[in-house]
Amino acid sequence: MNRALFSGQRIPREYVLLPTNEYYRRRYRSSRRGRWWLLFAAALVVFTAAMGVRAEQAVDLNNTESGDLLFTGVGQGAYTPALHLASRARIGVRGLLAKVQLQQEFANQSDDWQEAIYVLPLPEQAAVTGLEIQIGERCIVGKVRERAKAAKIYKAALDAGKRAALLEQQRPNLFTSKVANIAPGETVRVQIRYRQSVNYESGTFGLHLPTTLTPRYIPGEIKLPGKATPSAGRKEEAGAELMPDSSGWALPTDQVADAHKITPPMQPAAELSAIGSHRITIAVELEGGLPLAEISSPYHDLDLNKRADGRYSIKLRKGDAAMDRDFILRWRPRPASMPRAALFTEQVAAVEGGESPGTYLQLLLIPPESRRATRQLPREVVYVIDTSGSMGGNSIRQARESLQLALSRLQPSDRFNVIEFNSRARAFFPRPVAADPANIQRVRTQLVGLQASGGTEMAAALRLALSQQMPGVDELVHQVVFITDGAFGNERALFELMTRLLGDARLFTVGIGSAPNRHFMRKAAQFGRGASVTIGDLGEVQERMQALFAKLENPLATELELQWPKGLKVEAYPRRIPDLYDGEPLQLVARVEGDLDGEIQLRGRLAGVQFVQKLALGKGGSATDTGIGSVWARTKIASLRDQQLQFGEQSDPGQALRGQILRLALEHQLASPYTSFVAVEERVVRPQGQGLSKSPLPNAVARGQVLQRQTYPRTAAGLSAQLLAAAGLLGLAGLLRWGRATHALRRCLRRLVPDVRRARSWQERQLGQVQ
């Protein structure tokens, strides 16, 4: 007997209790509370999309490498930039010290009174000693005050209609200046004065002037008003400051609490050049103190004029240049005149209630070269390459070429691994592998396909790189090489992570791009007991990487100790003398009390051999220009800030260090994390009743980089997707909010689309009648 396991019999319709029309009306009637919640959610999405539109207009100020005056305008997202008329840099170099006067002119071409925001990136070791802002015939001179007091003075002047200026440090290589109450049609001249030390490496002196920036990535979760999210190593106040008038594209996060202050807008350099904006003239007076064999700039053409007194006048050959990359000047002494030591001094007179009499010293000592052949120890090297969105354009090509060259220097006895990172970190191998031809070729094949995209989550890459050490291979020399542009907004958190996880490995940095974050590059190498090089052009990859290899593969000068003559009271920085790599000199600044008699001795070991380098103090030349004291104070402030990393800024030891930094900055009249320059003109200039407008003038995109319109962390959709999603959800909320519209839509659909269920029941009835 054939019998179905499951019966397919149909129950007659008349025996089924069907819901009534009233049931359907109640069933599909949405609750008012649900509709209001959905409407609120849609409005929240629209707000997020609006913030995304704002992000498209702006980019990051933390790696800003040029000064710009930003006007914050009437309409959100609609910017009217002030005309950037000219930038002028006058640099005077004497020995190991450079004095810089950077002047930029801006014009308010709008019909409104304006508050201007001046974005000023500087060399990260620059000691800012002066600020002057000239408007018409009037000059406003800044004085140093405690940061909070300076901000209150400026705010009171702004509200009263007085001209005022405020200069604040956001990062060691980033300052912002605000100028209040600029009248329509007026031209503003801003002059910044600072000192910086001259670098010396492998027989070449050099200095650099930042003129553009690389936007920094802002990691972390956005901090909402009234919600405290403490970041690592410091406490944040509840209710993070959300500034509606901020010119930044990013909101504060739990990792970058001042993100809204360090994210200025960006604009392609070609667009700015088309209106004659963002051009700079540079003039250098060079007194090297030694016969020179060569003066050069890798990225700019120069005109040189040697004077009878041995000084050189240096200018840009074309008169000015686009502010789309750093200006670098290098000069090399003749081989017979290569220095082994140099000393410059500045006398300090007694000040009532201040410093006691003494002398500031700027010292350079070069360890001897090793004449012994050394056996290279096998190495375990982890290469970390940045493939985030800021590395787009020429930067990713420079990074790939640098890594290809590094792989060619590996020996068969070495072990290696490669990690790429953007929003996530990925290792090419689970653990370091032998540097045999097969493994190296496997990596080379993968490198060709690396592209720049996503965020810059370096912390994950750093943890992965520093956890690669294999157990039981302690005889290897452990090295980590970071190839990146340093476009991070959370540098201090990364430095803290390095000091905690580094162990016995040494960290080296390769700065990529026309305007890398040199502050991060130098400090990361310092905390990692390594070295740093920068690559600004594809054509210099070979030269600069060779300089890094010389440090990786040659012996170190270790166990260094500096002995001063007895009877001197000395405070020298850096406090602890680091190991010196091949071609690196010992450069320090010191404050000395006592007679400068006797000699300084640098003792250490090189390739297992003890050496002594001496310099007589009595033969040091006195500096005719002041400035060494400012550089010494700036260096001491940096050392105290490094100590704060160990304790946390808000801890008791951290607060004690804060007090030392504050007193030092006030005493030397320097901008610092806790002090600012403020200037106020007493007379009221803005008529009562006239408003004050704001709008940002963008910085120029660095040469070879690709402008990123949006740099939100952990955001998968772009601006268009956000806007479409917001519009769709808002429309859906409206339909659900009004029930009549929903019923009308259902009636329309019934007319256009046939109901399959009704058609089927009609056919069954017809069939039943036939049977």
C-alpha dist (Å) from residue 449 to 395, 396, 432, 440, 444: 15, 11, 21, 15, 9
For 256, the token pair is: 């970058």
Predicted model pTM = 0.77
Is the pLDDT higher at 554 or at 124? 124
CB 752, CB 42: distance < 8 Å: no
Q: Is it the case that residue 314 has pLDDT exceeding 90?
A: yes
> Could you say which DSSP state residue 574 is in?
S
Spatial distance between the Cα atoms of 682 and 685, rounded to a whole number of angstroms: 9
Is the pLDDT higher at 349 or at 641? 641
**pLDDT value at position 355?**
62
Over residues 261-272, the pLDDT tens digits come to 777 777 888 888
Over residues 388-442, the pLDDT tens digits come to 888 888 889 999 999 999 999 999 989 999 999 998 999 999 999 999 999 999 9
CB 196, CB 207: distance < 8 Å: yes
Where does the pLDDT of residue 247 fall: very low under 50, low under 70, confident under 90, or very high at 90 and above? low
Spatial distance between the Cα atoms of 213 and 127, rounded to a whole number of angstroms: 20
Per the rule left: phi > 0, alpha: psi between -120 and 50, beta: everything else, 78 is beta
Over residues 147-156, the pLDDT tens digits come to 999 999 999 9
Spatial distance between the Cα atoms of 298 and 285, rounded to a whole number of angstroms: 18
Residues sharing a CB contact under 8 Å with residue 388, sequence separation 6 or more, in sequence order: 217, 421, 422, 423, 452, 453, 454, 455, 456, 487
**pLDDT value at position 700?**
80
Per the rule left: phi > 0, alpha: psi between -120 and 50, beta: everything else, 185 is left
Spatial distance between the Cα atoms of 410 and 758, rounded to a whole number of angstroms: 77
**pLDDT value at position 698?**
75
Average pLDDT over residues 55-63: 40
Over residues 352-361, the pLDDT tens digits come to 455 667 889 9
Q: Which amino acid is at 495?
A: F
Is the pLDDT higher at 17 or at 88? 88
Average pLDDT over residues 437-466: 91
DSSP secondary structure letters along 510-522? EEESSS--HHHHH
Question: HSE of 182 in the Cβ direction (CA atoms, 13 Å)?
Answer: 34
**pLDDT value at position 277?**
81
**pLDDT value at position 120?**
80
Mean pLDDT of the chain: 78
Give the highest mean pLDDT range of 75-79, 313-317, 757-761.
313-317
In this structure, of 56-70, 133-147, 186-200, the range with the lowest mean pLDDT score is 56-70
The burial of 481, by beta-carbon neighbours within 10 Å (0-12 exposed, 13-18 middle, 19 or more buried), is given as: buried
Of residues 251, 245, 247, the one with CA closest to residue 227: 251
Q: Is it the case that residue 756 has pLDDT exceeding 60?
A: no
Domains of the chain by start residue, with CATH:
54-331+671-700 (no CATH), 379-515 (3.40.50.410)
- Bridge-based pairing of strands 415-421 and 425-427 is antiparallel
DSSP secondary structure letters along 441-481? HHHHHHHHT----S---HHHHHHHHHT-PPTT-TTSEEEEE
Scan for tokens 């400012």, then name that residue: 630
**pLDDT value at position 369?**
76
**pLDDT value at position 310?**
84
Of residues 712, 112, 621, the one with CA closest to residue 339: 621
Residues sharing a CB contact under 8 Å with residue 93, sequence separation 6 or more, in sequence order: 198, 207, 284, 285, 286, 287, 288
